[in-house]
Structure 1
Amino acid sequence: MFFVGHTKFSVYTHSSGAWRATNGSKFKSQEEYKKYLFSDSRLKPRIDIMLNFSLPQLALAATNHEVIHLISYSELLPEKYEKQLTYAASKYSFLRLDKQKIGSGWRTAEQIAKDFLLASDNPDQSFGIYRLDDDDILPADYFEQLTPYIKDEFVGMQVSLGTGISAIFRDGKFYNARKTYHPMLSIGYTSIHKMDANGEISKLPVAAHNLADRKYPVILDSRKLGYLWTRHTQQDTALGLIDTDDDSLRETLKRHMDRHPAVNDFQELYSSFPILKTRITSAESSNSTYEEMILTPTDLDRSGIRMKPNRIGGRIKITTSMICDLNSVPRNALIKFIFVDKEGRRVEPKFLDQFLKDQPISRSGNPQIGWFRYLSTRPGKNRTLTEFVLPPEIFIGVLSISKWARNETKIMIGSVSVESLAN
């Protein structure tokens, strides 16, 4: 199947309203705008993401497909970045570079497609044109997901893969990974085309990506992960935020993202984005440690569930999600903790009374329970956050979840994550 993609890597278009960085909302002059556009602070994370994550993922996706990916960039781009693009073009055979002179337009995906089709043995085949920003990433099965829709009967439509991942990028790694649902998101948005007998490529009406279904049909397929939406402080969209320093911007990004659930199925994530193995976490900070204790939904039986996390101490956040049946009652399950010292020896619960007395966990008089917290178990979906701070050189040795009052109630644990938060 044939696909053409287009990425604009710091194209100088001051009059454009497509990006916040080009609409005059922050810049008083073209010179001020150009200084920002080609600054190291803006370009370094973008070239890092594109060369080390986006293009390697695209290479995986392109296997068994005819793919041409066009990167347009300005002649004003600093030489060190142009050299990196040139090296990438020599490494990936599907890559084409388009150096744009000031005042001239860039090559279009339609032009690239026409040249390819006129030279091919199948010029009347339908094909897809997709868009990709320089700091976003597509899954390894991206073109496989699109292939069923690249047919003549779908020409004039677009395909949106609505489910994906959003994560914050910092210092070569991704954190705060969230699973998101954004129909008609611009990342990887694909239009379906065909060339007629006169060599003309079919066109779609001009429409903003989030309003496209008002102009033509949009096929929505959200069964698999379809994108990784990278968030970072140097994004052009971040210019619309009030915050100006990087730390404040990151906190604002996190607040915007936290309405989405944290990623807990890393098998699914790594299957779609194998390049990201060991480089992405759901931890809320790039300095935090994060561990998923339950990888698949698990029924909570009478014996409970016992989990042993990697050594974790300091400021701790535990997130538990459950689904309870209609007969469930509040506080019908609890999470229990066994704490250990640096040698791995169990710490008697009462020895922590003074330190933990004002924190949201309690010590039971029942020695079989020790330190614990009740979990939300109302009928339906429940999510409980438990945050507390342990004294130095004290760690969670074991945590367990068990039913409390009504053992006949059906409870399914969806996920349990343990995070050691950076101070």
Structure 2
Amino acid sequence: MNKVSVIQTKFSLFNKNLNPEIWQAGRNGLDNALKTLLDEERLRDRCDIFFNYQLPLIDIAVAKGFKIIHQCLHFDDLPIWVMDLIEEASIKYEWFRPRAFSFDDDLNLYGLIKEDIIDICETSEEQDVLCCAGIRLDDDDLINIDYFEKLERYLVESFAGFCVSFPKGYAGVYRGSEFTEFYDFYESKIALGLAQVFVYDVINKKFLNDYLMPPGAHGTVDNRVPTIIDATNEPVYLRTFHENNDFMLNRSNEQRRNYLESVLKTRVQNIDSFYRK
């Protein structure tokens, strides 16, 4: 059986179909959201993590033979220097597929996955069925080759319709363009790397499962689909903590400090094995 993983990353995406409460609040809410999205410091942090850490790690997995598509969904009016980085990445990595959207564009996440899966089958010699995973990954988080090795065992027809969560990873504190501290991190059903397994019938050109991405809120995904929690073996992700994390933006300094103290407990001296090739 052939297998493929489709990663969806919303890279500074500004669209009416996302967080509608922002634009429904009126022009001020819309303008403030866009201003935050395009903040220079925020973009530089995310570009560094995304282009210099996330993509090279995925490329290691591709080089080892894992079939991966990385869909990068981004706002079509980002600064020129950011658009240039996206274009350069699309040339460097064959598996990297950026797509630009305006605020008013219709955004069909399932449609994008279907488009690329069908394209794979039409341009290669895929036979019978294709077992796939739709994977959530933010633009400032990382997954490594261990992630894809663990996911591989679940990309079989018997797990089609299941969601897969790998709760064991690392947390990395990112300051001044570098990671300065690392910690053990554990979160069941974490959004980072949450994967939905589904099957595409190549012969009949039909998707056999209802969900192509983990449905609904990650914390309650097990209420919607059967969910596998696999915390065996090595950590498979790195969650970054930095000043421009989206979840930090509307919290006071005290709230930020209290949260970080509650989750960053066991410090790790180095995570060299995380970057293994």
Q: Provide closer, same or farther for how the CA distance between residues 99 and 16 of structure 1 changes in structure 2, counting only shifts above 3 A.
A: closer
Cα offsets for 1:364-420 (capped at 9, x unmatched): xxxxxxxxxxxxxxxxxxxxxxxxxxxxxxxxxxxxxxxxxxxxxxxxxxxxxxxxx
| Inter-partner Cα distance in structure 2 for 1:219 and 1:75 | 36
Give 2:115's match in structure 1, choosing from 106, 111, 116. 111
Q: For residues 218 and 7 of structure 1, do their structure 2 counterparts lie closer, same or farther at Cα, with a shift above 3 Å needed? A: same
Q: In the alignment, which residue of structure 1 is the partner of 2:263?
A: 257
Shift of 1:39: 1.5
- The alpha carbon displacement at 1:96 in A equals 0.7
Greater gyration radius: 1
C-alpha displacement of 1:273: 2.4
The 3 A distance-change label for structure 1 pair 23 and 217 is farther
Deviation per residue, 1:7-64 (Å, 9 max, x gap): 111111256339x9x5889x94312221111121211100000011111111112221
Does residue 208 in structure 1 map to residue 217 in structure 2? yes
Report the equivalent of 2:243. 233
Corresponding residue number in structure 2 for 1:81: 82
Distance 2:256 2:40 in 1: 19
Partners of 1:233 and 1:249 within 8 A in 2: no
Q: Distance in 2 between matches of 1:255 and 1:142?
A: 27
Deviations 1:94-119, CA, capped at 9 Å, x for gaps = 10110113311346223212221243
Give yes or no for contact 2:15–2:105 (8 Å, CA) kept in 1.
no
Mark the CA change 1:174 to 1:50 in structure 2 (over 3 Å): closer, same or farther: same
- SS of alignment partner, residue 99 of structure 1: strand
Counting only pairs closer than 5 Å after superposition, residues 46-85 of structure 1 correspond to structure 2 as 46-62=46-62, 63-85=64-86
Residues 159/15 of structure 1: CA separation in 2 closer, same or farther (3 Å cut): closer
Q: Secondary structure at the match of 1:13?
A: coil
Give the whole-Å Cα distance in 1 for the aligned partners of 2:188 and 2:79.
36
Compare relative contact order (CA 8 Å, sep 6+) and give the higher one, 1 or 2: 2
Give distance in 2, aligned partners of 1:262 and 1:101. 42
Are the aligned partners of 2:23 and 2:29 in contact in 1 as well (CA < 8 Å)? no
Q: Identify which of 9, 12, 18 aligns with 1:7.
A: 9
Distance 1:113 1:35 in 2: 35
Q: 1:252 to 1:176 in 2, by over 3 A?
A: farther
| Alpha-carbon contact 1:156-1:191 (below 8 Å) kept | yes
Instruction: Give distance in 2, aligned partners of 1:57 and 1:138.
Output: 7
Tell me the TM-score normalised to structure 2 length: 0.86
Residue 162 of structure 1 is aligned with which of 159, 167, 188? 167
The verdict on how the C-alpha distance between 1:23 and 1:274 changes in structure 2, with shifts beyond 3 A counting, is farther
Task: Tell me if the contact between 2:49 and 2:141 (Cα under 8 Å) persists in the aligned partners.
Answer: yes
* CA-CA distance at 1:91 after TM superposition: 1.1
Q: Is the 8 A contact 1:15 1:23 kept in 2?
A: no
Give the 3 Å change call, closer, same or farther, for CA 7–151 of structure 1 in structure 2. Answer: same
Q: Is the Cα contact below 8 Å between 1:16 and 1:23 reproduced in 2? A: no
The range that moved more, 231-240 or 80-89, is 231-240
Which amino acid is the alignment partner of residue 47 of structure 1? C
Identity of aligned residues (%): 25
Residue 31, structure 1, aligned to residue 31, structure 2: yes
User: What is the RMSD of the two structures over their aligned residues, measured on CA atoms?
Assistant: 2.5
Number of residue-to-residue matches in the alignment? 264
Structure 1 unaligned regions, length at least 5: 276-423
Q: Which one has a larger percent helix, Structure 1 or Structure 2?
A: 2
Using a 3 Å threshold, how does the CA distance of structure 1 residues 177 and 23 change in structure 2: closer, same or farther?
farther
Q: Say whether residues 1:138 and 2:147 are aligned partners.
A: no
After the TM superposition, which residues 187-202 of structure 1 pair with which residues of structure 2 at under 5 Å, given as runs?
A: 187-196=192-201, 197-201=203-207, 202=209
TM-score of the superposed pair, with normalisation by structure 1: 0.58
Whole-Å separation in 2 of the counterparts to 1:239 and 1:215 = 30
- Conserved in 2, the CA contact under 8 Å of 1:232 and 1:250? no
Shift in Å at residue 251 of structure 1? 4.1
Measured in 2, the distance between the counterparts of 1:241 and 1:92 equals: 37
Aligned partners of 1:125 and 1:61: how far apart in 2? 19
* Separation (CA, whole Å) in 2 of partners of 1:195 and 1:98: 23
Q: Secondary structure at the match of 1:168?
A: strand
Which runs of structure 2 are paired with 1:189-338 in the superposition (5 Å)?
189-196=194-201, 197-201=203-207, 202-204=209-211, 206-223=215-232, 224-243=234-253, 251-252=257-258, 254-258=260-264, 260-264=265-269, 266=270, 269-274=271-276
Query: 3-state DSSP class of the match of 1:103?
Result: coil
